[in-house]
A and B are shown apart, each in its own frame.
Chain A
């Protein structure tokens, strides 16, 4: 089910390509800003915080706040500094389980 977006896209010229976020597929405008496109597609939380595990979403859109962190190919990236490409498989940055030696 596609969530209702709180954003409106003024222009809809660019071709749509499939992008996965957290296992769900979205059709996003190719070449557009990944963070903006995901928010416009209805994504709320991009990452979980590391201590309290609460959701965060893009805050500054200019690469400074690090609240739009996602995982792409196992590497942590800022979604607001990425472009939509076909077939991107994006995971929200999740809280790491804290653990002592025994659990490693």
Chain B
């Protein structure tokens, strides 16, 4: 077992920024990430990607190299391909291709970012269907693009991926968009705040322009979306403007927003509450990223969706706060450095109420038909969750015992919110009262051999004698 001052889980913008900032203040930092390179999902392969990819992906992506550079030039101990499977009382257990490790950290920072919100529509489990983010990762990491994808859903990432496909020379066949005009009207009530984030509005307008110029058809306010096919997807069915469409395609990219990846925070026992604006559970953190669990911090989208810039700023803020806690940075100096960052973060966050209302989750995917699979791992349908509710299941833990929803390898990452939402609706209770599936280790599957490697035969558990 080794010791560090700060162990950071996740090397995306928040994790990298926190690592660099804390290391600069003299903190011994261990930065763990499951991927082979720095960057997280947003800046995946930014250090090693080709010029062509950079041109397709744009300036916001290439900016990520500043962060990877900062980490590379710092004293941060960065471990790639590290699979963290347990976080317990300031001990982090992780597995790497070189072996099994246990590190004791004075502080642990969870910078695990976001996941795309699951979009359970009929046929979403078929091969050929993936998230828009997945398609973007293929582009960033491998320079591979879908020849004629149909993008389905809503939100800034949907447009961004569409434009990147256009720039790569393979414009998407269509955008099937689920947001409505009344969503936009509701969003406009936040225009004043949004104007502080004018950069985003400007970028959004430019993106839509680029799509228009490329002649990509947009079907706005689409409904009754179903993905058709038997062994793989071969068409998208939807209705739009009174017409019913069935569009042939071999690749469907789904997206209707992102939600915090709360697995690590839930496993650590941090309290969460329902955030109606973001339509997601969000962990309880203070402005520094401090949680109620002693020595456990959260920064970036994992603490509530704010985007890459906000995540980077949050990472730096938490890095400073941890350095201060460790005695490496006087309070006044912490505040002097953090205050402008907090101000910038407020500006970054000012666009969020607008985005959240302009591009709300697709309502049919929040209340899927009975026949739609919600738990991909254990193949549990929405109707089975409703049956469990009828059987008296008030929350997802009893429903898990009844239906197996959330019991699979992903441990509820892609069904947790759907299951809680369906139960809340069926029982007519709030999301907070309904709760969330309890997350236990391992955070990611590891082999029994890998877990057994941490067993110390000289220090066995204290166990009660056998039973009668």
Which A residues are CB-close (under 8 A) to B261? 64
Give how many A residues have a beta carbon under 8 Å from the other chain's beta carbons: 39
Which B residues are CB-close (under 8 A) to A54? 125
Q: Are A81 and B128 in contact (CB under 8 A)?
A: no
Q: CB of A66 within 8 A of chain B?
A: yes
Which A residues are CB-close (under 8 A) to B133? 60-62
Given A57-B127, A62-B133, A65-B414; A75-B447 close (CB under 8 Å): yes
In chain A, positions 24-48 with a C-beta closer than 8 Å to chain B are 29, 32-33, 36-37, 39-40, 44-46
Cβ-defined partner of B144 (8 Å) among A9, A46, A57, A63: A9
Which A residues are CB-close (under 8 A) to B328? none
Q: Are B53 and A10 in contact (CB under 8 A)?
A: yes
Q: Chain A residue with minimal CB distance to B447? A: A75
Q: Are A81 and B34 in contact (CB under 8 A)?
A: yes
Q: CB of B180 within 8 A of chain A?
A: no
- A9 CA to B232 CA in the complex, in Å? 21
- A33 CA to B125 CA in the complex, in Å? 22
Cβ-defined partner of B379 (8 Å) among A46, A49, A61: A49
Main secondary structure of the interface of B (DSSP, over half): loop
Main secondary structure of the interface of A (DSSP, over half): loop
Q: CB of A16 within 8 A of chain B?
A: no
Using a Cβ cutoff of 8 Å, how many contacts connect chains A and B? 127
- A8 CA to B144 CA in the complex, in Å? 6
Given A8-B170, A66-B410; A59-B134 close (CB under 8 Å): yes
Cβ-defined partner of B145 (8 Å) among A10, A29, A67: A10
Given A49-B379, A62-B41, A81-B34; A6-B146 close (CB under 8 Å): yes
Q: CB of A52 within 8 A of chain B?
A: yes
Given A10-B53, A11-B52, A44-B231; A56-B134 close (CB under 8 Å): no
Which A residues are CB-close (under 8 A) to B376? 56, 59, 65, 67
Given A6-B146, A11-B50, A49-B379; A61-B134 close (CB under 8 Å): yes
- A33 CA to B139 CA in the complex, in Å? 11
Give how many B residues have a beta carbon under 8 Å from the other chain's beta carbons: 51
Q: Are A63 and B34 in contact (CB under 8 A)?
A: yes
Q: CB of A55 within 8 A of chain B?
A: yes
Q: Are B377 and A52 in contact (CB under 8 A)?
A: no
Q: Are B128 and A6 in contact (CB under 8 A)?
A: yes
Q: Are A66 and B130 in contact (CB under 8 A)?
A: no
- A30 CA to B261 CA in the complex, in Å? 31
Cβ-defined partner of A83 (8 Å) among B36, B56, B135, B139: B36
Cβ distance A89 to chain B, nearest Cβ, rounded Å: 18
Cβ distance A69 to chain B, nearest Cβ, rounded Å: 8
Given A6-B251, A7-B145, A9-B144; A55-B127 close (CB under 8 Å): yes
Which A residues are CB-close (under 8 A) to B169? 8, 10
Q: Are B142 and A33 in contact (CB under 8 A)?
A: yes
- A80 CA to B244 CA in the complex, in Å? 36
Which A residues are CB-close (under 8 A) to B142? 9, 29, 32-33, 36-37, 40
12 A–B contacts from the bound complex (CB under 8 Å): A7-B144, A8-B169, A9-B143, A36-B138, A55-B232, A59-B376, A60-B116, A62-B41, A62-B137, A63-B34, A63-B444, A66-B408
Task: Please give the residue numbers on chain A whose beta carbons come within 8 Å of chain B beta carbons, in ascending order.
Answer: 6-11, 29, 32-33, 36-37, 39-40, 44-46, 49-52, 54-67, 69, 75-76, 81, 83
13 other contacts beyond A33-B141, A61-B134, A64-B413, with CB at 8 A cut-off?
A6-B148, A6-B250, A6-B251, A7-B138, A10-B53, A10-B139, A11-B50, A39-B144, A49-B379, A59-B131, A61-B133, A65-B376, A65-B410
